[in-house]
């Protein structure tokens, strides 16, 4: 039934647009994701339609690449080094605008859709993320830290690449599913959809998604940010109360 949400947009674009290039009409299953108690993650359905001039798909197949990312954040990476049997912080670097979450889905493997230069321009794939370091850094060292960041966030489910997971129906309708883990940061996300044919990006469209805390989680986050002293005191008191209660129950057992 979700396809029905796209049909009015497709009709409007077909009637009002005299474009000579194809147009993307994207949609997402959720525009507002609320993180509250018991939140275990969410699955987003990104779907839409490709409107071709004249309403007829070309004889050559097209590809779809979908990127969901956000929010950008400053992050400091520190490299661990073992000295005399002890792990200590060694080299470090800071990235000014690393996405807290990044997922890319495509109808075929990225390397079969576009060349390396185009993939780098549009940030197609984990190996093509373009992060801005704070200050000067050796390119080789930057690549090493970037690889470490990608590996860390991939293991935590915050970065992912899903080649071949976008379905294209009749050359016109498409859909992709992306999972969002419970640890995802709050903020504004962008769902970018790209139409690619013969290695060229023919059309692109963006939808925004808001991820925010709700209920008790929102209260705790607000206390931690705006009343850090009271938040700290409350956390200590709760810990003491739980410890005392545990001791009482243990004596009764």
Q: Per residue in 110-126, pLDDT tens?
A: 999 999 999 999 999 99
Q: What is the pLDDT of residues 210-249, one digit of tens each?
A: 988 765 444 454 444 545 655 565 556 666 666 666 665 5
Indicate the pairing of strand 173-180 with strand 42-51: antiparallel
Tokens 């690619």 map to which residue? 196
Chain-centre distance of CA 173, in angstroms? 22
Cα separation, 180 vs 202, in Å, equals 28
In contact, 48 and 174? CB cutoff 8 Å: yes
Q: Please provide the average confidence, as pLDDT, over all residues in the chain.
A: 80
Buried/exposed code over 11-22 (b: 16+ C-beta within 10 A; e: otherwise): eeebeeeeeeeb
Q: Which of 10-14, 44-48, 53-57 has the highest mean pLDDT?
A: 44-48
Distance separating alpha carbons of residues 253 and 242, to the nearest angstrom: 16
The SS3 of residue 40 is coil
Cα–Cα separations (whole angstroms), residue 119 to 71, 128, 180, 242: 21, 7, 24, 53
Q: Which residue has the higher pLDDT, 213 or 196?
A: 196
Q: What is the mean pLDDT of residues 93-108?
A: 90
Distances (CA, A) of 211 to 68, 150, 177: 12, 22, 17
């Amino acid at each position: 039934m979700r396809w029905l949400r796209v049909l009015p947009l497709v009709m409007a674009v077909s009637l009002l647009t005299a474009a000579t290039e194809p147009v993307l009409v994207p949609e997402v299953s959720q525009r507002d994701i609320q993180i509250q108690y018991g939140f275990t993650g969410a699955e987003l359905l990104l779907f839409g339609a490709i409107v071709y001039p004249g309403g007829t798909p070309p004889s050559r197949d097209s590809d779809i690449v979908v990127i969901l990312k956000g929010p950008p954040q400053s992050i400091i990476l520190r490299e661990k080094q073992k000295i005399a049997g002890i792990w200590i912080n060694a080299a470090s670097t800071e990235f000014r605008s690393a996405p807290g979450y990044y997922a890319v889905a495509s109808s075929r493997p990225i390397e079969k859709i576009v060349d390396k230069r185009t993939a780098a321009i549009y940030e197609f794939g984990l190996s093509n993320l373009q992060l801005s370091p704070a200050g000067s850094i050796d390119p080789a060292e930057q690549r090493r830290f970037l690889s470490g960041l990608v590996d860390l966030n991939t293991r935590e489910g915050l970065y992912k690449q899903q080649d071949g997971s976008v379905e294209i129906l009749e050359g016109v309708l498409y859909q992709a599913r992306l999972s969002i883990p419970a640890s995802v940061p709050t903020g504004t996300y962008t769902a970018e959809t790209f139409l690619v044919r013969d290695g060229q990006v023919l059309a692109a469209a963006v939808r925004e998604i808001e991820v925010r805390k709700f209920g008790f989680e929102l209260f705790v986050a607000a206390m931690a940010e705006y009343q850090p002293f009271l938040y700290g005191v409350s956390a200590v008191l709760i810990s003491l109360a739980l410890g005392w209660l545990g001791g009482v129950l243990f004596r009764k057992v």
